[in-house]
Structure 1
Amino acid sequence: MKICVYAICKDEAQFVSRWVDSMSEADEIYVLDTGSTDQTVALLKERGVIVEQKVITPWRFDVARNESLKLVPEDCDVCVCTDLDEVLEPGWRQVIEKLWKKGVTRGHYRYTWSFNEDGTEGSVFDYDKIHTRHHYRWTHPVHEVLEYLGEGMERVVYLTGIQLNHYPDRTKSRGQYLPLLELSVKENPNDDRNVHYLGREYFYYNRYDEAITTLKRHLSLPTATWDAERAASMRYIAKSYAALKEPEMAKTWFFKAIKEAPYLREGYIQLALQFYKESDWFGVAYAVENALKIKERPLSYITDPSSWDATPYDLGAISQYYLGNYEQALIYAQLALNCAPQNKRLKSNYELIAKALK
């Protein structure tokens, strides 16, 4: 089996050594450099990576990805697409060789997109950028995805044991995302996925009215059927209303999100945070109690790490404290501290509640 890694990059010299080390199980590594002005290209070539340079104007991620895929030889069996700020944990090739059967076209695997300050995992979800050399192309100017062009059905295997970790450069701007998302939606106004992303991006830019309008349009699209993503749109609508000082509308939309996807913690936790802002301790307690009934964490990009870290227990401890239920508050405070033992505020809260209990 011939396995090749391919990537795009620009000014990522700081990541080259670590990235090549983690990709070294491949037979060949190909990189399209899109205009580096640092030592990225020289460092890649020193490590034996096959590099070509091409400036993509106007910039689009899908065009760059497709150009990088063209570098991979026709006789490659499996292509592994990563970025230079990502790291594959050792043994990934062995997993592919074991699980990639005849007829498989694409592999899914576990991806840690972010890490918390203490080194624990933050956002974790399934990823899908391992595929056959032929019958695939990248689409969308940003948040690009692989489109299957082969005959018949795409055949997917879950590559249990592969772990990809993301260690981004936090100083890099994401300013290009908004215009590219606007372009993507202009090109395909009924693509529900990118309409959701665009609405979310408006929220990130504090353009709350546009976020609400765009996310409501996402919900109106007939193809917007994934309940988890629909619920995420509802939560961003709710947070937009909260930012616009309309708390009742915010709570209405948080409850809509909970109804849409009752198996997700996120609606309850973000509702709890809204109640917290209002010092509604019964509301906080209600939302936390219901969130903690949900035990299974989905491996989806929709999942918010704060729903699965110390936050639910922290909110539970605070609400129970103000309700005078010190014993329950102390239990929650201990659980929160277990999640983040180095957090000084959580430790201080625990000590305060323990003192009140005495």
Structure 2
Amino acid sequence: MKICVYAICKNESQFVDRWMDSMSEADGIYVLDTGSTDDTVEKLRARGAQVMEELVSPWRFDVARNRSLALVPEDADLCVCTDLDEVLHPGWRAALERAWTPEAGQARYRYTWSFRPDGSEGVVFWYEKVHRRQGYRWVHPVHEILEWMGPGQPGPMVTVPGMQLDHYPDPAKSRGQYLPLLELSVAEAPEDDRNLHYLGREYLFHQRWDECIATLKKHLALPTAVWADERAASMRFIGRAYLQKEEPEQARGWFFRAIAQAPHLREPWMEMAMLCYHQEDWDGVLYFTGRALAIAVRPDTYICEAEPWGPLPHDLRCQAFFRTGRNALALEEARKALALSPADPRLRGNVAVLEHL
């Protein structure tokens, strides 16, 4: 098969060599540069990438993605869309070729979106940015997704074991453009439940509590908003906004709704555990962290957050046992927390103090 990589970029010189190394298993690499003022373009071309320079104004991610896709030759079989701050693990092409089937339309692979300070994985889910060359286009101004535009039905999604993409973003880059683009996306498609959920979450990031609550309630009211995991996330975010408004009882009610909506996820249980922790309800902390830890299989969607699958549940249990005079149990939980984040000096200190006691 002919497999090509395509991307968009702007001022990402620092990532060029690492990215090109990881994409080198492709038959061709095509990049749309949208206005770099550093030496990104020169470095990409020197490494063998085909680069086109074009300003996209007004800026939209879907327009830029589609123009970068148009650079890929028509005779390519598969397209792999990545960004320059991402790295594919070696062997990705062989894994993709093993998993691909003649009738397939897209492929999903494991994606580490963030890492913890100690280098361990943070948010992990499965991504779907590999697709046939023909029949697909990108839609939405931001948080863009692939949409099938060909005749008939798209081919099935295949899962690619062994294909791993890691994300190492530049912390200096602003995400300020996301909010206006999300507002535009919702204005263009007000019945799109996914966009509405993302917009409500973005208002939460920007500390616009009332707009967050109102937007996510609209999301929950849409007849198409049926995915329990995402509905529970909207409920949790509403609860967080109410906490910031100093309305803990409203928050508690929304966290309970989230648990009822998706009891198979750790995240809602941990929201309640954190609320109990701040209210010094130690029995509540133990109950809700216990329910969270009883969920042993980590979901493979973007809804899965890092904290509930890291040391936090055991750390909270350690605090609850210590506050209620059960030091032996507190030490047991402290050791479990440290095992999940061995470089954390605070967790190491907790173990040392409890061992001394």
TM-score (norm 1): 0.98
1:224 aligns with 2:225: yes
How far apart are the structure 1 equivalents of 2:129 and 2:255?
33
Q: 266-275 or 198-207: which moved more?
A: 266-275
How far apart are the structure 2 equivalents of 1:96 and 1:328?
46
1:352 aligns with 2:346: no
Q: Secondary structure at the match of 2:190?
A: coil
Q: Which residue of 2 aligns with 1:304?
A: 305
Q: 341-350 or 134-143: which moved more?
A: 341-350
Q: Secondary structure at the match of 1:193?
A: helix
Q: Secondary structure at the match of 1:231?
A: helix
Q: Secondary structure at the match of 1:115?
A: coil
Q: Which residue of 1 aligns with 2:18?
A: 18
CA shift, 1:352, in A, is 2.6
Q: Secondary structure at the match of 2:185?
A: helix
Q: Which residue of 2 aligns with 1:30?
A: 30
Matches within 5 A, 1:1-358: 1-150=1-150, 151-356=152-357
Amino acid aligned to 2:262: A
How far apart are the structure 1 equivalents of 2:251 and 2:187?
29
Residues 173-223 of structure 1: CA distance to partner in whole angstroms, max 9, x if unpaired? Answer: 000000000000000001000100000000000000100000011000000
Amino acid aligned to 2:248: P
Contact 1:61–1:141 (8 Å) recurs in 2: yes
How far apart are the structure 2 equivalents of 1:268 and 1:126?
23
Contact 2:86–2:166 (8 Å) recurs in 1: yes
CA shift, 1:146, in A, is 0.2
Amino acid aligned to 1:20: M
Residues 289-322 of structure 1: CA distance to partner in whole angstroms, max 9, x if unpaired? Answer: 1111111100111111100000000000001111
Contact 1:107–1:156 (8 Å) recurs in 2: yes
Residues 122-152 of structure 1: CA distance to partner in whole angstroms, max 9, x if unpaired? Answer: 1100000000000000000000000012312
Residues 153/49 of structure 1: CA separation in 2 closer, same or farther (3 Å cut)? closer
How far apart are the structure 2 equivalents of 1:160 and 1:340?
26
Q: Secondary structure at the match of 1:169?
A: coil
Q: Secondary structure at the match of 1:51?
A: strand
RMSD of aligned C-alpha atoms?
A: 0.9
Amino acid aligned to 2:340: C
Unaligned 5+ residue runs, structure 2? none
CA shift, 1:153, in A, is 4.0
Residues 268-289 of structure 1: CA distance to partner in whole angstroms, max 9, x if unpaired? Answer: 1121111111111111111111
Contact 2:8–2:65 (8 Å) recurs in 1: yes
Residues 15-73 of structure 1: CA distance to partner in whole angstroms, max 9, x if unpaired? Answer: 00000010010111000000000000000010111000110000000000000000001
Sequence identity percentage: 56
How far apart are the structure 2 equivalents of 1:66 and 1:20?
21
How far apart are the structure 2 equivalents of 1:270 and 1:125?
20
Amino acid aligned to 1:168: P
Amino acid aligned to 2:124: V
